[in-house]
Amino acid sequence: MSTLLKVENLSVGMRGSTGVVVPVLENLSFAVEAGRTMALVGESGCGKSMTALAIMRLLPEDFVVTSGRILLEGEDILSASPKRMRSLRGNGISMIFQEPMTALNPLFTVGDQIGEVLRWHSGVGLAEAEQQAIALLRAVQIPAPEQRVKAYPHQLSGGMRQRVMIAMALAGRPKLLIADEPTTALDVTVQAQIFDLLADLQKETKTAIVLITHDLGAVAELADDISVLYAGRCIESGDADSVVSHPCHPYTRGLLDCVPQLKLGPRPPQAWSDLAEIAGMVPPLGARGPDCAFLARCREASELCRSRLQPALEPITDDHAVSCWRKSELAA
């Protein structure tokens, strides 16, 4: 397996109105192997979308990368020219968004929108682009693609639009697909279909996937690797089976405790966002101290934790790393 994407010590900050840069992501490192799926998991606001946008170089205006490197096949995309970046987007990396209802241009047919991406990246003509768009719609299992290619987004249901989004994201034949909560806006049966579709497409195309989700059921099923984010920091990462079956960080354990019926299959996202078992909230931006970010909510916190800084992400086994001062005790 070769490493496709390598994120090294990535830090992102938000420039406030006063000019102070508030950290949003701190020292984030992870790698995505070619053809594999890595899940980014964490509560709302912990920085999952910002990680995705940083990789796409599409951070909102006030957000800046303060340090780190993002390597796509060894090429540092943080220093790529805007022109190079444009050709990487869609072709090297592409992204599907959380909200399929608003992620398509309402004024053009889905065929136009998919066809346009095909024309940028493979230089085909109009007629050929439409044929390929139909083939892509068929590949994402949209019924009657010859007709649907002429449909406007408002004529399609949410699930269909998300399929169109996936088709559009795959049109440039990316090596890496970032799926930012691709099913959160859909109902449960459709969610399962979309996850199945992603898994099927990955088998066909060997595209690596970064899957951002709240759905630990899907993570257990789809992901090869997991990184758990908390307050902009990676607190546990490693092989998916190992992290899900032997979570070591108290936060990951809390997350998994919130899904007692994990083995019964995917659960609605509501069950996730309450996080009934973990008291308190993610510290807001700017209120994060230098010590363990989870300290205030941690049931395992000891005097030791209070007297020290944020623990480093360190391996406990070959394929499993944890950022916690008490990891050895907890792992035991």
Partner 1 sequence: MTTIETSTPLAVESSSPPVRPSASPGRVAFRQFLRSPSGVCGACLLILIVLGTAIGPVVYPVDPLDLVGGPFTAPSADAWLGTDYLGRDVLAGLIYGGRASLAVGAVAALITIAIGLTVGALSGFFGGAIDAALVKITEFFQILPPLLFAMVLVTLFGQKLTTITLAIGAVSWTSAARLTRAEFMRLRNLDFVKASRAAGAGDAYLILRVLLPNALPPVIVSATLAIGVAILFEGGLSFLGLGDPNTMSWGLMLGQNRNYVLDAWWAVIFPGAAIFLAVLSISLVGDGVNDAINPRLRRRM
Ligand X SMILES: Nc1ncnc2c1ncn2[C@@H]1O[C@H](COP(=O)(O)OP(=O)(O)OP(=O)(O)O)[C@@H](O)[C@H]1O
User: Stretches 15-23, 34-42, 127-135, 291-299: which one binds ligand SF4 (CB under 6 A)?
Assistant: 291-299
For residues 94 and 91, give the distance between their C-alpha atoms in angstroms, rounded to a whole number.
7
**208 lines the binding site for partner 1 (CB under 8 A):** no
Cβ 11 to ligand SF4 shortest distance, Å: 20
Strands (E), 172-239: 176-180, 208-213, 225-230, 233-239
Given candidates 96, 219, 292, 313, which one binds ligand SF4 under the rule CB under 6 A? 292
**94 lines the binding site for partner 1 (CB under 8 A):** yes
**123 lines the binding site for partner 1 (CB under 8 A):** no
> 295 is in the binding site of which of partner 1, ligand SF4, ligand X, none (Cβ under 5 to 8 A by kind)?
ligand SF4
For residues 144 and 123, give the distance between their C-alpha atoms in angstroms, rounded to a whole number.
26
Cβ 234 to ligand SF4 shortest distance, Å: 13
> 49 is in the binding site of which of ligand SF4, Mg ion, partner 1, none (Cβ under 5 to 8 A by kind)?
Mg ion
CB 216 within 8 A of CB 255: yes
User: Stretches 49-57, 107-115, 219-227, 322-330: which one binds Mg ion (CB under 5 A)?
Assistant: 49-57
- How far CA 53 is from CA of 6, 27, 28, 61, 164, in Å, comes to 15, 16, 14, 11, 21
CB 51 within 8 A of CB 25: yes
For residues 148 and 153, give the distance between their C-alpha atoms in angstroms, rounded to a whole number.
10
**160 lines the binding site for partner 1 (CB under 8 A):** yes
Q: 257 or 300: whose CB is closer to ligand SF4?
A: 300
Cβ 310 to ligand SF4 shortest distance, Å: 8
Q: What are phi and psi of 12, to 5 degrees?
A: -125, 140
Q: 110 or 321: whose CB is closer to partner 1?
A: 110
Applying CB under 6 A, which residues contact ligand SF4? 249-250, 292, 294-295, 298, 300-301, 305, 311, 324-326
